[in-house]
A and B are shown apart, each in its own frame.
Chain A
Amino acid sequence: MKGNPMSRRRILRTTAPLLAVALLAACGGTTQGDQDDGGGPGGTDATADPNAEYRTGLSVAMLPKSVNNPYFEASSSGAESVVNELEGAYEYTGPSDASASSQVSYIDTLSQQATDVVLLSANDPNALCSSLEQARGGGTVVVTFDSDVDPGCRDLFVSQVDSDEVGLTLLEMTAEQIGGEGEVAVLSATANATNQNAWIDAIGAELESNADYAGIELVDVVYGDDEDEKSFSETQGLMQAHPDLKAIISPTTVGIAAAARYLSGSQYQGEVALTGLGTPNQMREFVEDGTVAEFALWDPTALGELAAYTGAAAASGIITGAEGEVFTAGDLGEYTVGADGVVTLGPPTRFNADNIDEFDF
């Protein structure tokens, strides 16, 4: 024993676990195609009582993608006002980095605290599922907003807009600004951002099927990862890679602001159209200096309000998430639950030089 060369023991130590797992492997393989049966809790068995009142004293927590983001601050203020109105307890909590694994820890904490309603904007459609299932197992109502998870792991999703409608609005604005003809490119958030991809798909489908857009060609999709600096240099790269580019569509608030800043300081200002989704406060300057003619967005505060009402309605038994259920979301009016438990806020608002000063968010 003493005389053994140490490296042999070391090799043994590092390979022992490998051998153990390899033995397991002999029992047969699990591959991607295999059927997976545990589908998670689908719909609840409970029945909805459309005439029930909103419960008071609910504990509601909003968990954004990351806490240092003004967009979610605006949503949070909306949700908070609703929760206060319903005499509930409100908390805004989350990681400072937009990663799925940090969100999991926060979900675990919220389920440990037996929070009644979690309003979540997810960093990954799948990574949060098992934590969410545990939380829901403990009676927490999970409502996603802004960015969804797999429909099986939440109760309802409050969508800012209908995916197709965003794509169409963006394309319509672009076509108006470039006269219906020319090369366009998309500056998106991350490549696996659920909603951005849905909108880009809608744009692509419409370009193919609608004869009005026959002259428009989508030449590139680049990703700024919702980081200011990266979006900035990706815009720069787009201009160099595509000399004939007529327009950039950026369906993310970080991206459009960075792209506008690049364009406004470059020779392309006014030459290359820029549109997309942005907040009026960030874009005001660029609308004034002529870099941007028109862009769109929904009201994030209203989105937060609707998410809070939806969560409270589900926790009060007014809705269960089944298609066709109707509830009243305070001043926002009446909403109907769509397929897959989706509640949609409404069409995006367009902002241009004429109306931008009416908005402050």
Chain B
Amino acid sequence: MSTKLRDTAAVRLLTTWDAAIIAATVVFLAAAAQTVEHFGTARNAGFIVLDLAPILILALAMTLVVTTGEIDLSVASTVGLTSAAMGVMWNAGIPLETIIPAAIGIGACLGAVNGLFITGFGLPSLAVTIGTLALYRGLAYVLLGDTAVADWPRAFTGWTLGTVGETAIPNVLIPMAALVAVFGIVLHATAIGRSIYASGANPVAAAYAGIAVGRLKFWLYVTSGAMAGLVGVLWTLRYSSARADNAYGLELTVVAVVLLGGVSIFGGRGALPGVLAAVVLLTALQNALRLAHVSTEALTVVTGSLLIAAVLAPNTANAIRGALRARRSRTA
């Protein structure tokens, strides 16, 4: 009896993927702080926060999109196009205080285009956002070519790298925390959040229950675009460089952390804490590997394997649980 109980508890821990990923992250951080030289310092934590900021902000919106059963592969290209647009506006002498909201607005519009194709015309989101992935990146090159706009004011670029007062808390952590709070509350404590889960789990039932699934998804794409616009701003200012190839290929990392965080690619299942843990785990892992002089090849393989494991492990655990239950019902 007692062994049976332990079995199910262990299996349940494995199956609640977010619990497993959060535990893994905590264990990893503790282990790395002990074993990897220079890892556990406030300064290094600051570097990790700076590195994970763009991934985290994009992953917040991506989590909502994927939970409705859709996907947005165009986010990194939207970052690139927003960044290029910022460069063009800056060269045109527009004040940065206007450029920043405009850039976020541009991102939102680009997201709205995705949303229109997907919910308005009923096209598959995978195909649409692969299309806009190419289109937006292409337009970024059309705007800025291969040149870079680099003369951003220090007051702004310094802020993205700076810390709050005398503390070691990076400035960017403040808006990030605010966004995490907003997205967390919306997804887990409001009617919108429940609609998102319902739309992903069973769109037909959700529609019968009075949820405007199409409108909901449209606004999620707008949100995703706006977040990508915000990342475009942060990226441009952090690297003090508006370039068409900014954030190239980042969409894969974002999708990877969302799935690694336990969000089901089929929609309807997932939670933000797991995604947050996955973002921290992946970035801290890369940081630790670099500090430990491990080559980048290992990094690539680890990311890919984790991504597959994120889906494979719960599937396997489910299969094991099914087998256990079958055996238990036979013995009973």
Contact = CB atoms under 8 A, between A and B. Distances in A.
Q: Do chains A and B touch in the complex (CB under 8 A)?
A: yes
Interface of A: 2, 6-7, 9-11, 13-14, 17-18, 21-22, 24-25, 27-34, 36-38, 67, 91, 93-97, 99-101, 104-106, 108-109, 112-114, 124-127, 129-130, 134, 190-192, 223, 225
Contacts of A127: 148, 150, 239-241, 243
A160 to B, nearest CB: 22
B150 A130 contact: no
A276 B300 CA distance: 35
Nearest to B97: A25
Interface stretch (B5-13, B154-162, B256-264, B270-278): B154-162
Given A17-B230, A21-B97, A29-B97, A191 B243 contact: no
A67 B296 contact: yes
Contacts of B37: 113
Interface stretch (B38-46, B315-323, B324-332): B38-46
20 contacts: A9-B192, A13-B186, A24-B97, A25-B97, A28-B97, A30-B95, A36-B154, A91-B293, A97-B248, A101-B239, A105-B51, A109-B47, A109-B291, A126-B239, A127-B150, A130-B161, A191-B145, A191-B146, A192-B146, A192-B243
B195 interface: yes
Contacts of B186: 13
A14 B147 contact: no
Interface string B15-59: 000000000000000000000011001011001001100000000
Contacts of A105: 47, 51, 286-287, 290
A95 B296 contact: yes
Contact of B108 (A6, A14, A109, A124): A14
B318 to A, nearest CB: 33
Nearest to B182: A13
Contact of B241 (A10, A31, A124): A124
Interface string B112-156: 000000000000000000000000000000000111101101111
B150 A17 contact: no
A130 B157 contact: yes
A30 B156 contact: yes
A10 B187 CA distance: 12
Nearest to A109: B290
A32 B293 CA distance: 40
B305 interface: no
A116 to B, nearest CB: 15
Contacts of A93: 290, 293, 295
Nearest to B299: A96
Interface residues of B, number: 67
B108 to A, nearest CB: 7
A38 B158 contact: yes
Contact of B38 (A7, A34, A112, A130): A112
B168 to A, nearest CB: 13
B304 interface: no
Contacts of B291: 109, 112-113
Contact of A190 (B43, B104, B146, B249): B146
B63 interface: no
B309 interface: no
Interface string B61-103: 0000000000000000000000000000011011111101100
B191 A108 contact: no
A94 B208 CA distance: 54
B241 A100 contact: yes
Contacts of A2: 191
Closest 8 CB pairs of A and B: A29-B95, A191-B146, A25-B97, A126-B150, A127-B241, A127-B239, A109-B290, A108-B47
Contacts of A27: 97
A251 B34 CA distance: 48
Contacts of B216: 6
B297 interface: yes
B223 interface: yes
Contact of A17 (B44, B104, B238): B104
Contacts of A104: 239
Nearest to A20: B101
